[in-house]
Chain A
Amino acid sequence: MTSKIATVLLAAYLASQLTACSTTKGANVKYKEQQTIDDTHPRATLILGSTELVDNVLITNVRLGEVGALSRAGVDVQNLTDERYTLEYKFVWRDKQGFAVDSGNMWHRFVLSPRKIKSFQSVGKTQDAYSVQFTVRFPDDLFIETDKQDQKAKPFFD
């Protein structure tokens, strides 16, 4: 009888420990998401294009306003680390129904030195432009990727 009670108590203790761990982990993940992406603006979607950037690069301070008949958006990107990042960003504008407009926007390369904040702006160049999607990612460049693959394949060149 005593051993049964001991087994039940042990099982209950282990279960409570496991639950506690998983809760903590979940809370941490949620906390991190809120820290590095400010998703409070209803007309802006902000995207960090790599898990490596989560926690390390902050997108915040979203502003949307009018310039004459057009819409304008501004965001701040901050490097939270002591690393030097080469990244690229792109604005995509959408109309009130969510369809992409002003599709001629390109990826723009930029460098974030340690702790640096950079601000970027874009004007929705059609009068339908209403909401904005802003993405930051590591450069997606065929030749950079090819160099990386070559270095993996031929490490003796280093």
Chain B
Amino acid sequence: MKKLLLLTLPLILIGCAGNQLGSQSRVAILDSSSREHLTTELTMADYTAFAEKVTNKMLRSRLVQSWGRKRPKLVVGKLANNTNNDSIRMQDIYDRITETILNSGLVRLMDQSATSFDYVVRTELSETRQFGAGGAELAYYKLEFKLFKLDGEMVGQWSDVLPLGKAVRKY
């Protein structure tokens, strides 16, 4: 009886360990509108949040209100990446912005190759970054919209800032 117990106990323990490993994948499906960060870099959720907040400011400006239902032709120019990170997916930010502006129905969105349009939006992403002891980090990202008429006159400017802070790890 004792021998039987001695034989079965390790098997049970191995079996339990296997179950635990198999059931803990450590991967969770997140809410698509939540804002988790592992590092002080931008995520897809941040791109969408930037597009939401900057277009909020643009759409409630006096200029855009004055358009009413005229639906002027607008070109969203290429985004300038003035951060130190060349791997930021600027096309994704561009897509979020055009999606938001297009869905508003306030403008006719034209391709960058169009020859007839009323306004151009130039967009720029920039960052400042500070590093502290023990891995502490502070990053500020700024997305800026600048709206120009055909003759080059700037008629609107709107921006939003996203600060990301990484605290010192305690253990």
Contacts and interface: CB of A to CB of B under 8 A. Distances in A.
B64 A68 contact: yes
A126 B99 CA distance: 11
Contact of A69 (B28, B34, B68, B103): B68
Contact of B171 (A68, A108, A122, A157): A157
Given A68-B64, A68-B67, A157-B170, A106 B106 contact: no
A125 B36 CA distance: 25
A142 B28 contact: yes
Contacts, number: 78
A104 B105 CA distance: 15
Given A141-B34, A142-B36, A143-B36, A106 B45 contact: yes
Q: How large is the interface on B (under 10, 10 to 19, 20 to 34, 35 or more residues)?
A: 20 to 34
Q: In the complex, which of the residues A106, A107, A108 has the most CB atoms of chain B within 10 Å of its own CB atom?
A: A106
- Pick the most buried of A69, A102, A107, A143: most chain B CB atoms within 10 A of its CB: A69
Interface string A125-158: 1110000000000011111000000000000010
A99 B103 CA distance: 16
B35 A88 contact: yes
Interface residues of A, number: 26
A78 B105 CA distance: 34
Given A107-B33, A108-B49, A125-B55, A72 B38 contact: no
Contact of A127 (B33, B35, B51, B105): B105
Contacts of B104: 70, 125-127
Contact of A123 (B37, B49, B56, B69): B56
B20 interface: no
B143 to A, nearest CB: 14
A36 to B, nearest CB: 24
Contact of B38 (A68, A90, A104, A143): A143
Contacts of A125: 55-56, 59, 100, 103-104
A109 interface: yes
B91 to A, nearest CB: 17
Interface of A: 67-70, 72, 88, 90, 102, 104-109, 121-123, 125-127, 139-143, 157
Interface of B: 28, 30-31, 33-38, 45, 48-49, 51-53, 55-56, 59-60, 64-69, 96, 99-100, 103-106, 170-171
Given A68-B67, A142-B34, 18 more contacts: A67-B60, A68-B64, A68-B65, A69-B105, A69-B106, A70-B106, A105-B52, A106-B33, A106-B48, A107-B34, A107-B35, A123-B55, A123-B56, A123-B59, A125-B103, A140-B31, A140-B34, A143-B36
